[in-house]
Structure formats: structure tokens, C-alpha cells
């Protein structure tokens, strides 16, 4: 096993899992957790992964339960069933599981109910809804705006106003994508008018396509986003991550070098190059670019930690200690590691 693998195996993914949960990206967190549970974790790490996976699962289950209840009231039985079945697959909490089961029973009651008598009074209809356990109170509607803002909390501040000014249709596709419904989200993005299909449109579509495992198509969409907005660093991070996943390391290096040649945030470019060389288990180039990124003002704790651990591996303890002191307390300790840029999606 190579040097970087010994230093970071499993740990960078655990750090990414923590960040995914803290940024309310619960679908990503569940996927990361499933992969991590296949790795050789120690008891402490395994317990933390289990806790984070349960938290992510319950949060995502609650979102799907709320959506399912809303669709029940809208009498959209099939869509309600899809959300409730998803919630049932994601849930860990026994109490929440019982609530989901009740909602599924309500769905079956409505699906199997006879057609209503046209002469029935509205009062009778209200009683039937009450008996089925479905409240029609506005308070039960899922708080879409809150979910939208929670997702945006993980985005760079300068992009937030642009997302907030998007159409309701864009926002709905955006939220669906972050709830793990990539296919439906892409379908809705595809229905948006041409004037909405800007750099953010291509970026979000690229992220969704990447999650569906279609790397080349994802890169095309992300590259289109960057052609429209070369400063969209999130798109660069995801594109680099996708290329790494495809083991297209030289393409990733060439892509970043092109950016660097145009003087597009050199420190950021060095950080991305460090990420690529890390994936190739090239300790010397990783350390070189990580240090260039840090000296250029790129303060990502994961890049700083990467450089510190590599200095330590070379027994350059003075340099390592100086870097460790720069890392915020939550990023230190067992489980911290190299950045997984896929989390930005």
C-alpha cells in the first residue's frame, strides 16, 4: 500500500461524510456511509459512521415522508407512494418508521376506497379525511423554502443570491436533486426554458449526471458551465473529481494547468493539482502543490492537513507542527483527511 493510502485510506471519506451531514446533503451521506462500512474501520470510526448514516437516513426519510403526506392530500397516489417507499428504505428511527407505516396504510385506504357519492356532503367528506388520519392543515405542508435554504447553506456565499433569484421550477428541480431524486430532477431541469439554462443550470445538471455514474456526459455539462463562467470553482472541483473517478488523471492535470496558465486563482489550481496527485499516490507532487496552495492563501483545512501529514511522514516535524496549528479544531484528530470534492454536488 502506497504512502498516501496508508495516511488517508478511509479517513478522507469519513471527513467527507461528516461534511455531507453537516451541510444537509443526506443522500450523498448515505452513499458515502455505505461505502465506508465496507472499509476496514476501527471500532471508534465504525461507530461514528453508523451514527452519521442513521442521522442522514432519518433526515432524508423525514423529507420524503413530508412530501408523501402532501401528495396524499393532493390525491397523487403514485407519487405519494414513491416518496413513502423511499422514506421506508431510508429510515432508522423506530418512531419515524411507525409514522411512515401509518402514512402507507393511509395511502392504501385511499387507493382501495370506493368512488365518493356525488351527493355526499362536504361535512361527510371532511370526516372521511379525518378518519383516514390525513390532516388538511396548512401547517402540515412541507417547508420547501426551508429545505431550499438548508441546501444553499453549503454553497459559496456569492452564489446564494443567484440561486434565490431562480424560478420556482428551477428551485424545485434543484431540491429534488439534493433529495436523491436525480432522474426526476434532470427531467425537470430539461423542461426549463432556454433563458434558464445558464452556468448554474449546466453545473447542477453535471452534478446530477455524475451521481448517475455517467462521467463523460457529466464532464461535458460541467465544461459548458465553465465556458459560460470560468470563475465557477465548484464546477472545477466536481469536474476534477469526476475525472479522478474515471482515472483520467492526465486530463484533470491538463485541465487545471490550462486554468493556471490563464492566471485563474493560482492557489485554487494548486489545491486541485494536489488532489489529483494525491489520487495517484504521488506524495512529492501532492506536497509541492499543497504547499503552493497554502502559501497562495488557499486555507482549506483538508489541504492544510494533507500537507501536514505528508511533512510528518517525511519526519519534517517542525513544518508539520506549524501546519497543524493552522487547522481549525473540528478538522483535527482521528478521521480528518484529504478533501473529497464530490461532496460539493
- Asked if the model's pLDDT at residue 6 lies above 90, the reply is no
**pLDDT tens sequence across 24-55:** 777 778 778 887 877 777 888 888 888 888 88
105 versus 341: the higher-pLDDT residue is 105
pLDDT band at 226 (very low <50, low <70, confident <90, very high): very high
3-class DSSP assignment, residue 5: helix
| Mean of pLDDT values over 62-85 | 82
- Asked if the model's pLDDT at residue 332 lies above 50, the reply is no
Task: Tell me what pLDDT residue 103 has.
Answer: 86
Helices (H), the chain: 3-8, 11-22, 26-36, 43-73, 77-90, 94-112, 122-131, 144-152, 160-164, 168-178, 182-190, 199-211, 215-228, 233-245, 249-261, 266-279, 283-295, 301-313, 317-324
* Lowest-pLDDT range of 49-63, 96-110, 135-149, 217-231: 135-149
Task: Tell me what pLDDT residue 294 has.
Answer: 92
Q: Angle, to 10 degrees, between the axis of helix 249-261 and the axis of helix 233-245?
A: 160
Amino acid at each position: 500500500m502506497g504512502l498516501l493510502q496508508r495516511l488517508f485510506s478511509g479517513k478522507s471519506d469519513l471527513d467527507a461524510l461528516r461534511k455531507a451531514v453537516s451541510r444537509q446533503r443526506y443522500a450523498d451521506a448515505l452513499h458515502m456511509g455505505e461505502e465506508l462500512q465496507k472499509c476496514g474501520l476501527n471500532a471508534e470510526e465504525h461507530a461514528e459512521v453508523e451514527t452519521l448514516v442513521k442521522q442522514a437516513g432519518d433526515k432524508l426519510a423525514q423529507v420524503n415522508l413530508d412530501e408523501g403526506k402532501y401528495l396524499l392530500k393532493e390525491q397523487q397516489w403514485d407519487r405519494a407512494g414513491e416518496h413513502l417507499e423511499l422514506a421506508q428504505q431510508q429510515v432508522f428511527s423506530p418512531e419515524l418508521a411507525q409514522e411512515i407505516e401509518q402514512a402507507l396504510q393511509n395511502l392504501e385506504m385511499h387507493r382501495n376506497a370506493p368512488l365518493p357519492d356525488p351527493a355526499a356532503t362536504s361535512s361527510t367528506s371532511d370526516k372521511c379525511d379525518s378518519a383516514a388520519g390525513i390532516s388538511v392543515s396548512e401547517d402540515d405542508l412541507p417547508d420547501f423554502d426551508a429545505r431550499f435554504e438548508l441546501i444553499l447553506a453549503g454553497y459559496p456565499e456569492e452564489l446564494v443570491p443567484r440561486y434565490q433569484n431562480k424560478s420556482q421550477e428551477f428551485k424545485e428541480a434543484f431540491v429534488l436533486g439534493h433529495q436523491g431524486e436525480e432522474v426526476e430532477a434532470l427531467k425537470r431541469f430539461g423542461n426549463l426554458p432556454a433563458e434558464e439554462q445558464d452556468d448554474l443550470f449546466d453545473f447542477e445538471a453535471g452534478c446530477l449526471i455524475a451521481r448517475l455514474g455517467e462521467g463523460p456526459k457529466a464532464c461535458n455539462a460541467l465544461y459548458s458551465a465553465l465556458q459560460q463562467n470560468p470563475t465557477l470553482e465548484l464546477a472545477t472541483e466536481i469536474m476534477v473529481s469526476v475525472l479522478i473517478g474515471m482515472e483520467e488523471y492526465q486530463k484533470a492535470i491538463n485541465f487545471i494547468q490550462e486554468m493556471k496558465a490563464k492566471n485563474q486563482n493560482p492557489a485554487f489550481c494548486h489545491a486541485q493539482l494536489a488532489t489529483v496527485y494525491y489520487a495517484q499516490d504521488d506524495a512529492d507532487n501532492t506536497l509541492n502543490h499543497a504547499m503552493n496552495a497554502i502559501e497562495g492563501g488557499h486555507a482549506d483545512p483538508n489541504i492544510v492537513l494533507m500537507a501536514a501529514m505528508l511533512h510528518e511522514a517525511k519526519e519534517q516535524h517542525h513544518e508539520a507542527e506549524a501546519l497543524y496549528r493552522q487547522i481549525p479544531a473540528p478538522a483535527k484528530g482521528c478521521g480528518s483527511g484529504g478533501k473529497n470534492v464530490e461532496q460539493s454536488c
